[in-house]
Amino acid sequence: MKKILNYIDGTLLEPSEGNYLENKNPATGKVYSLIPDSSAIDVELATKAAQTAYPFWSGLPKEERSNWLLKIAELIDKKSDELALAESIDQGKPLSLAKRVDIPRAAANFRFYATAILHFSSETNDMGSNGFNYTIKSPIGVAGCISPWNLPLYLFTWKIAPALAAGNTVVAKPSEITPMTAYLLSEICIEAGLPKGVLNIVHGLGSKVGNDIVSHKNIPVISFTGGTTTGEHISRIAAPMFKKLSLELGGKNPNIIFADCDFELAVKTSVLASFSNQGEICLCGSRIFIEKSIYEKFKNAFIEKTKNLVVGNPLDEKTNLGAIASEAHFNKIMSYIKLAKEEGGTILCGGDEVKLDGENSEGKFILPTVIEGLEYKCRTNQEEIFGPVVTLTPFETEEEVIMMANSTQYGLAGTVFTQNLTKAHKIALQLHSGIVWINCWLVRDLRTPFGGVKNSGVGREGGFEALNFFTEPKNICVHF
C-alpha cells in the first residue's frame, strides 16, 4: 500500500513515532494509502529546518525566489494529469473538475505570486523640508499554513505560494482527509531542487499536528482555512502569543434572484453555485432567495436542471457530482436533510443517499437536494451544511431580502442576479460579505481581496493583501 511521507528539510521522512493513519478513497470506501500520524517531534523537526533555511531564503533577491516558484508551477502543469487523478481519488470530486479547476489553479497560484512579488513595493512619505519616511516590508520568519479538504491542492498552494514569495519559510499541513496532492507537491519540490527546509509538509491530524503548528513558539504567523469552530480554537491559542493570523472560515452564502434577471443565466449559474464540488465549496450559494413573481418559474427550471445532474463515479467523464469527501461529512449532511424535514421543509428533489454499483458500492454519494418552505431563521438556513443541499425562499422587497441574506453569523460571499445596474450595485453594497458576484459566480481574479466578514474570517488573501500579510512593515524616519 502506498505510504505518504512527511517532507522535512528537503527529504521524505517517515513519521518519527512510526504511526500511520488510513486514507480512504471516498468513492469506493476502500483504504488505498497510509498517512503519517505525525507528532510534536515531527513539527519540531520541520520548524527547526524552516528556521535554519530562513536566513538564506529571506536573503535571496526576489527574482531568485520567483524563479523557484515558476519552476514549481511548470512541474505542476507538466504533471497535471497525475495530480488531477490523485485529487479526484483522494477527495471524491469529479476528475473533470480537478482537471479544469483545481490543478490549473494550483499552478496559477505559484505563477501569480512568483510574478506579484516582483511588483510588490513600499511607500515613501515625505515631510517636506523636515525629512521623509520610508517603509520596508520584510518577511516574518516561519509561516504555518493549514488548509482543508474541499479544494486540497488549490487552497494549500494559495497559502504556501505568497508565504514563500515574500521570503518566509513554511511548515504546512494539509487536511488528513486529502493528503495525496500535498505529498505529490513535496515530490515536485524535490524534483525542482527547492533548497532544503524552505517548505516543510507535515501530515497528520488537525488536533495534533495542526495544534502543534499553531502553538509553536517559533511560528509567528499562521494562515488557516477551515471551519469557523476550528478558527475560533486557533484564535484562542494564537492571540495570547500575539501571532499574526489569517482566518478563512465558513460561509452560508445568499444567492439573490430578482424578477428582472437574465433568467437562463440565473438558473444555469445557480445550479453551478449550488452543486459544484458536491456543494463543498465555502463560496457555494446555499440559500437561494427568489423574487415572488418568478418564484414558481425559477423553482421549476432550477429543479429540472438539478434533476439532470449525474451523481456518479468521479472518474467518469459524465459525472457532475462525485463522492462526499468522508463518511463523517456524509453523516453531517444527511443529518441536516433530516433536520430540514423536522423544521417543516419540503424536499423538492434529492434528499437521499445514492447507492452506486460495482466498485463504488461502498462509496458515499448524495443526490443534489432542493428544499422549500423553511423559515429564514431556522437552523437549516443559518448553519453551514457544506454539501449538495440548497433552500429556496421567496421575497417581495429589497429590504426583506437584504434582511434575510444578512441574518446569519457568516459573511463570506453573495450573488445577485438582476439586469438593473443600479439595483445590483445597491444590493451589493448592502450585503454583509467580503465578496459579491453580480450575474456570475466564482469568477476569480487573483489580484482581488478574498475573504469574509463576521464569523467567516479575519483578514484577506489574494493579490498584495497576502503579501502584506506575510510581511511586517517597518517605518524608518529620516529627519533633516
Contact 291, 259 (CB under 8 A): yes
Report the residue from 351, 394, 414, 457 that binds ligand NDP according to the rule CB under 6 A: 457
**Quick check: 221 and 470 in contact, CB under 8 A?**
yes
Q: Which residue, 177 or 311, has its beta carbon nearer to ligand NDP?
A: 177
Sheet holding 6-8, edge to edge: 11-13, 6-8, 199-201, 169-173, 142-146, 221-225, 244-248, 457-458
Contact between 444 and ligand NDP by CB under 6 A: the answer reads no
- The stretch near ligand NDP (CB under 6 A) out of 42-50, 81-89, 199-207, 466-474 is 199-207
Among 104, 141, 227, 449, binds ligand NDP (CB under 6 A): 227
Rank residues 139 and 226 by Cβ distance to ligand NDP and give the closer one.
226
Contact between 447 and 401 under an 8 Å Cβ cutoff? The reply is: no
Question: Dihedral angle at the C-alpha atoms of 272, 275, 279, 285, nearest 10 degrees?
Answer: 50
Check if 282 is active-site: yes
DSSP helix/strand/coil, 193: coil
Residue 405 CA to residue 285 CA, distance in Å, equals 11
Residues 6 or more apart in contact with residue 126 via CB below 8 angstroms: 132, 133
| Dihedral of the alpha carbons of 102, 104, 107, 113, in degrees to the nearest 10 | -90
With a CB cutoff of 8 Å and minimum separation 6, the contacts of 77 are: 104, 107
Q: How many binding residues for ligand NDP (CB under 6 A)? A: 32
Interaction between residue 149 and ligand NDP (CB under 6 A)? yes
CB of 176 to ligand NDP, least distance (A): 3
Q: Give the x-and-dash track for 276-315 against ligand NDP (CB under 6 A).
A: ------x---------------------------------
Q: How far is the CB of 423 from ligand NDP (least distance, A)?
A: 27
DSSP classification of residue 292:
G
Instruction: Provide the CA 237 distance to its chain's centre, in angstroms.
Output: 22
Contacts of 318 (CB under 8 A, 6+ apart): 310, 312
- Measured from the CB atom, the residue of 249 and 334 that comes closer to ligand NDP is 249
Is 261 part of the annotated catalytic residue set? no
Cell numbers of 37, please? 500520524
Q: Which stretch binds ligand NDP (CB under 6 A): 71-79, 210-218, 261-269, 389-397?
A: 210-218
- Is the CB of 149 or the CB of 417 nearer to ligand NDP? 149
**Binding residue for ligand NDP, selected from 114, 161, 170, 249, defined by CB under 6 A:** 249
Nearer to ligand NDP among residue 179 and residue 363 (C-beta): 179
Residue of the chain from 154, 365, 386, 469 that contacts ligand NDP (CB under 6 A) = 386
Whose Cβ is closer to ligand NDP: residue 214's or residue 402's? 214
Residue 25: beta bridge partners? 30
Between 233 and 423, name the residue whose CB sits nearer to ligand NDP. 233
Pick the catalytic residue from 145, 282, 291, 465: 282
Per CB under 6 A, the list member of 34, 142, 177, 256 interacting with ligand NDP is 177
Alpha carbon distance 95, 105 (integer Å): 15
The stretch among 72-80, 81-89, 161-169, 248-256 that binds ligand NDP (CB under 6 A) is: 248-256
401: alpha, beta or left? (left if phi > 0; alpha if psi -120 to 50): alpha
Name the DSSP class of 475: E
> Using the rule CB under 6 A, which residue among 12, 13, 205, 315 binds ligand NDP?
205
Choose which of 48, 62, 233, 423 interacts with ligand NDP (CB under 6 A): 233
> Are the beta carbons of 447 and 462 closer than 8 angstroms?
yes
Q: How near is the Cβ of 295 to ligand NDP at its closest, in Å?
A: 28
Binding site for ligand NDP (CB under 6 A): 146-150, 155, 173, 175-177, 205-207, 210-211, 214, 225-227, 230, 233-234, 248-251, 282, 384, 386, 412, 452, 457
Residues noted as catalytic: 248, 282
